[in-house]
Amino acid sequence: MASSAEQVPPAPTSDRALSVLRDLEQAATGQHVAWCLSGALDTLRKLEQYPQISREERHSLLFASGRAFEAAAALPPGLIFDEDLHAGFAALAGLVCLWAEDAQARALRPNHVRLDLFARARIFQNHAHNASLTEEIAERAFEQARHHSLRHQLRLVHDREAK
């Protein structure tokens, strides 16, 4: 039997928490990591508009964020710098925890702590968005180079056949 640390927590039931979970789980697969992180952070930054999540949902999101961190840490160097990655995931985890707090617990937090969490999350979202755009540009450049190479090869074949 697996220990409780190894058991995957149940999926969230609220739509917004489920949306964040899907983004984090997709990021954890290593596909479209930056884009998914940007999406998760976009939702998390609006958490005050949504109902409080349960402790189980919080646990599920934190578990998924740990897996997403591993994938994000494996991104090519320079897409997201290590210090930004660590600060960003700390902010992400902080927002998840804040989302699970009731109004009374939130009121006990100094306002600057809450504001700093949101600001750090926004910075990380911007980094993730920029990394996603950089990946898109690289993918298009690769496709363009592949297309150009194929056209060049076809031209060589055509030239040989014409001789």
pLDDT at 1: 42
Q: Which residues of the chain have pLDDT under 50?
A: 1-4
CB of 27 within 8 A of CB of 37?
A: yes
Q: Pick from 37, 59, 20, 42: which is nearest to 135 by CA?
A: 37
Backbone angles phi, psi at 22, to 5 degrees: -60, -45
**pLDDT at residue 58, as a whole number:** 96
pLDDT the model gives residue 6: 56
Q: Tokens at residue 89, please? A: 């995931």
What is the per-residue pLDDT for 85? Answer: 93
Domain spanning 15-129 has what CATH number? 1.20.120
Instruction: Please state the pTM of the whole predicted model.
Output: 0.79
DSSP 8-state secondary structure symbol assigned to residue 15? H
pLDDT at residue 10 in the model: 67
